[in-house]
Amino acid sequence: MTESNYGWGLPTAASTFAKEIDFGIYLIHAAMFAIFILWGIFFVYLLIRYRARPGVAAKHEEHGILASLIPDFIVLAFELCLIFLYAIPSWSRIKVETPGAQDSLTVEVTAEQFAWDIHYPGPDGKFGRRDPALVHASNVLGLDPNDPSALDDIVTVNEMHIPLGRPTLMGLTSKDVIHSFFVPDFRIKQDAVPGMRIPVWFEPTKTGKFEIGCAQLCGFGHALMRGDVFVHAPKEFENWLVDQKPALNPTGK
């Protein structure tokens, strides 16, 4: 649960691709540590080997430019492997190959100063039309009551409920400025940009409550722009869904 998720190490890995992201983080840290140690040893060696001594004149030796570039080529080869064998395939799996909508829970997430509005299509499975002119304190997404598919839509604020066992596919946008949807435990972070609808997906591997943070400085309330993702067992998720009142008719009359 969230209380114990943040310590000195990485937070809980709670999505299908979290381990893959962590591998990259560990690999880069290990490589940087190795380079730091090797350069440190080399530097100290040079300080001792070529220290000023009485009776020894400074002299210059030619070894050719190529020999001196060998360490750079080793680092370059490592970085090219990192890009082509790890980074690009991972990027493609996580950011490009989104799962099909029919196998996923589909939600629309709209960021605003300073909250996350989560839009579910309701029992008809269709998202209702939204009109910025209809946005109001009681209709945060501007759902259009004249659109029949909007009537059963569900809207939650700062609370995202999703099921375990299948991917969640989100369309992410913003009402005002650039925000960034960040769930550290899922290792997902994506900018929310006004006027754009950016697809984001993840599949949780654990039930529980996970923090949503805003990862883009967006105004005075940035630090307070927090929400929670609740990952439920599939049956429990269905129960939560049927308990929700339509956003346009919250009293359910």
The CB-of-177 to ligand CUA minimum distance in angstroms stands at 7
**Of positions 118, 162, 225, 231, contacts ligand CUA by CB under 6 A:** 225
**Rounded to the nearest whole angstrom, what is the least distance from the CB of residue 194 to ligand CUA in the complex?**
12
Q: What is the DSSP code string of the chain? A: -GGGT-SSSPPP--BTTHHHHHHHHHHHHHHHHHHHHHHHHHHHHHHHHT---TT---------HHHHHHHHHHHHHHHHHIIIIIIHHHHIIIIISPPPGGGSEEEEEEEETTEEEEEE-TTTT-PPPB-GGG-BTTBTT-B-TTSGGGTT-EEEESEEEEETTS-EEEEEEESSS-EEEEEGGGTEEEEE-BT--EEEEE-BSS-EEEEEEE-S--STTGGG--EEEEEE-HHHHHHHHHHPPPTT-TT--
Count of residues in contact with ligand CUA, rule CB under 6 A: 9
Q: Which stretch binds ligand CUA (CB under 6 A): 43-51, 125-133, 152-160, 214-222?
A: 214-222
CB of 229 vs ligand CUA, minimal distance in Å: 16
Q: How far is the CB of 114 from ligand CUA (least distance, A)?
A: 6
What is the pattern of x (binds ligand CUA, CB under 6 A) and - over residues 172-191?
A: -------x------------
Answer for which of 94, 107, 141, 214 binds ligand CUA (CB under 6 A) is: 214
Is residue 166 within the footprint of ligand CUA (CB under 6 A)? no
User: Can residue 106 be called a binding residue for ligand CUA (CB under 6 A)?
Assistant: no
Rule CB under 6 A: which residues touch ligand CUA? Answer: 111, 114, 179, 214, 216-218, 222, 225
